[in-house]
């Protein structure tokens, strides 16, 4: 499908609005994909108000009906999986398999919440007072602001959106300025689903495309009780206090500095595959990308050369091609950051393998790089810093306890894994004294979570959790109810108040 047809299929034929002011380039070749109109601060405000009005209607629609809308949306996504996945690749540069995987993740979560919409379980709770009934119920919260990143332009948003919709909350979406097209395409698909569903207000989903002004409007609005933002730790540090000050809730999905402990008993061929997928996939631009390989010293001499050999043979290039495994970096800035990191690593004692720009001639306005492996003597400052690029730091360990300590000795806490066939090592890694990350896997890389679990991490990774498990609770408000159906008024804790007067 050529670009024009693709955009048409996704309902983006007339994309260029009034006053198009944002140029969207493909990282694949730097070509202009489209011009998009930026949302003004005033329009953002209006969008918030429309969402607020939508909330008044939507919260009264029974949750299982809200789920039906998500089923319709899932069907739209299933139907346009190929097109939407391709657009993800075009706009973001990840390889098509990953673009499709992202859409599949949207479908998965949308299917999941259809079932969830008949649950949203609260509790009935035993009351200490006779003829009293105690309950905990969950109610819709209000319009949600979702700020999504370029690297997962649609899946991360959809984790939030799917939960929000069945929980009764409209969504205002601010996609990354680097990937507005996929966002606009998704909005179109959702509107199609919406048109088949009579009970929903049109403003269930509002999109705003813009910069700091726009973002600030969302952060500061008293009408958005929850802001869910995915991005860098720096971004999180800036926005968290703004929302906290107005007692807004926050779901922050920030940086990761994800490690793998590779132990002597590991299945090395599995480990190798996992490293490749998680260290070079999405060109190292996943929040869950593998960035640190903590390898047992006994494996170093055999495994590292093997890994380097595989790095050598990886196909870099056009991400739409079947054989490509590494596409471009998102932009020049990313490329520069990567080079700076590699320099710093060298200065801090590292030996760099790979990392240089390639295909410059073919794509002068795009930034393709060889994924880098950097052998480090110790876990220096640069290793503790997240660089959003395909750099894998390799550090060796002697004792398992040291490996664990090194693993946790970074400010981030998103994802982690161990490759081992040793039960005790595996369980220790998963225990309260093991990995301090929100995601800790055994014999799976740090990337590629299923939607059934909670996604997110602690420390500088922000503390938010999204997708499965009971993450939906963050999108609702909790009410504790006690109903007295007796004819007296006993007090809790057996207090007597004025009863002998």
Query: Which residues within the stretch 302-341 sit at the binding site for its own copies (CB under 8 A)?
Result: 313-315, 322-323, 325
Among 41, 45, 97, 348, binds its own copies (CB under 8 A): 97
Interacting span for its own copies (CB under 8 A) from 11-19, 360-368, 393-401, 450-458 = 450-458
The minimum distance between CB 16 and its own copies, in angstroms, equals 32
Choice between 282 and 387, CB closer to its own copies: 282
Among 76, 102, 169, 206, binds its own copies (CB under 8 A): 102
Among candidate residues 287, 417, 437, 471, the one labeled active-site is 287
281 in contact with its own copies (CB under 8 A): yes
Tokens of 177: 């300025």
Choice between 333 and 478, CB closer to its own copies: 478
Among 14, 18, 309, 496, binds its own copies (CB under 8 A): 496
The minimum distance between CB 297 and its own copies, in angstroms, equals 21
Among 76, 91, 108, 206, binds its own copies (CB under 8 A): 108
149 in contact with its own copies (CB under 8 A): no
Number of residues that bind its own copies (CB under 8 A): 137
| Residues within window 22-51 making contact with its own copies, judged by CB under 8 A | none
End-to-end C-alpha distance for the chain, whole angstroms:
85
Among 27, 44, 92, 138, binds its own copies (CB under 8 A): 138
253 catalytic residue (yes or no): yes
291: left (phi over 0), alpha (psi -120 to 50) or beta: alpha
Among 22, 31, 134, 268, binds its own copies (CB under 8 A): 134
CA dist 356 and 366 (Å) reads 13
287 catalytic residue (yes or no): yes
The minimum distance between CB 64 and its own copies, in angstroms, equals 4
Interacting span for its own copies (CB under 8 A) from 32-40, 96-104, 329-337, 387-395 = 96-104
Q: Is 430 exposed, middle or buried (0-12, 13-18, 19+ CB in 10 A)?
A: middle
Choice between 277 and 335, CB closer to its own copies: 277
104 in contact with its own copies (CB under 8 A): yes
Buried-state track 44-70, b at ≥16 Cβ within 10 A, e below 16: bbebbebbbebbebbbebebeebbbbb
Interacting span for its own copies (CB under 8 A) from 3-11, 187-195, 201-209, 463-471 = 463-471
Among candidate residues 253, 386, 460, 466, the one labeled active-site is 253
| Residues within window 356-415 making contact with its own copies, judged by CB under 8 A | none
444 in contact with its own copies (CB under 8 A): yes
| Residues within window 161-200 making contact with its own copies, judged by CB under 8 A | 168
**What DSSP string runs through 329-367?**
BS-HHHHHHHHHHHHHHHHTT-EEE---EE-TTT-TTSB
Residue 494 C-alpha from the chain's centroid: 48
305's CB contacts (< 8 A; 6+ apart) are none
CA dist 263 and 50 (Å) reads 55
CA dist 226 and 160 (Å) reads 11
The minimum distance between CB 347 and its own copies, in angstroms, equals 27
Buried-state track 240-276, b at ≥16 Cβ within 10 A, e below 16: bebbeeeebbbbbbbbbbbbbbbbeebebeebbebbb
CA dist 81 and 97 (Å) reads 11
- What's the CA angle centered on 102, arms 99 and 105, to 5 degrees? 155
Q: DSSP secondary-structure letter at 326?
A: B
16 in contact with its own copies (CB under 8 A): no
Residues with a known catalytic role: 253, 287
């Amino acid at each position: 499908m050529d670009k024009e047809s693709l955009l048409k299929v996704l309902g983006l034929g007339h994309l260029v609005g009034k006053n198009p002011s944002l140029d969207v380039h493909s990282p694949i070749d730097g070509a202009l994909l489209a011009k998009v109109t930026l949302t003004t601060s005033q329009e953002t405000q209006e969008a918030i108000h429309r969402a607020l009005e939508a909330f008044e209607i939507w919260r009264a629609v029974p949750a299982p009906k809200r789920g039906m809308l998500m089923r319709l949306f899932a069907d739209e996504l299933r139907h346009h999986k190929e097109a939407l996945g391709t657009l993800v690749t075009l706009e973001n540069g990840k390889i098509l398999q990953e673009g499709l995987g992202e859409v599949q993740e949207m479908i998965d979560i949308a299917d999941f919440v259809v079932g969830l919409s008949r649950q949203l379980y609260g509790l009935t709770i035993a009351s200490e007072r006779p003829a009293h009934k105690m309950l905990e119920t969950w109610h819709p919260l209000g319009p949600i602001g979702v700020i999504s990143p370029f690297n997962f332009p649609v899946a991360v948003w959809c984790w939030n959106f799917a939960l929000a919709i069945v929980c009764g909350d409209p969504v205002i979406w601010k996609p990354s300025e680097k990937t507005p097209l996929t966002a606009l395409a998704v909005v179109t698909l959702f509107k199609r689903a919406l048109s088949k569903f009579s009970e929903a207000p049109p403003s269930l989903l509002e999109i705003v495309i813009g910069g700091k002004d726009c973002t600030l409007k969302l952060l500061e609005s008293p009408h958005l009780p929850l802001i869910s933002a995915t991005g860098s730790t720096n971004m999180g540090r800036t926005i968290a206090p703004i929302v906290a000050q107005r007692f807004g809730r926050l779901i922050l999905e920030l940086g990761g500095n994800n490690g793998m402990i590779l132990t002597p008993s590991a299945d090395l061929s599995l480990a190798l595959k996992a490293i490749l997928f998680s260290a070079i996939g999405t060109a190292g631009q996943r929040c869950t990308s593998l960035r640190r390989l903590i390898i047992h010293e006994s494996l170093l001499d055999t495994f590292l050369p093997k890994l380097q050999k595989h790095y050598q043979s990886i196909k870099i290039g056009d991400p739409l091609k079947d054989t490509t495994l590494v596409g471009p970096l998102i932009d020049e800035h990313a490329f520069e950051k990567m080079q700076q990191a590699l320099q710093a690593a060298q200065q801090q004692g590292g030996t760099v393998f790979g990392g240089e720009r390639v295909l410059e001639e073919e794509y002068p306005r795009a930034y393709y790089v060889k994924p880098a492996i950097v052998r480090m003597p110790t876990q220096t400052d640069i290793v503790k810093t997240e660089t959003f690029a395909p750099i894998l730091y390799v550090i060796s360990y002697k004792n398992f306890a040291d490996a664990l300590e090194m693993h946790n000795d970074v400010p981030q806490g998103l994802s982690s894994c161990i490759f081992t066939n040793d039960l005790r090592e595996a369980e220790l890694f998963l225990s309260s004294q093991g990995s301090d990350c929100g995601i800790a896997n055994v014999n799976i890389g740090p990337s590629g979570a299923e939607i059934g679990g909670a996604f997110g991490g602690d420390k500088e990774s922000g503390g938010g959790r999204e997708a499965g498990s009971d993450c939906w609770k963050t999108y609702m408000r909790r009410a504790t109810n006690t109903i007295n159906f007796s004819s007296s008024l006993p007090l809790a804790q057996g207090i007597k108040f004025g009863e002998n007067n």
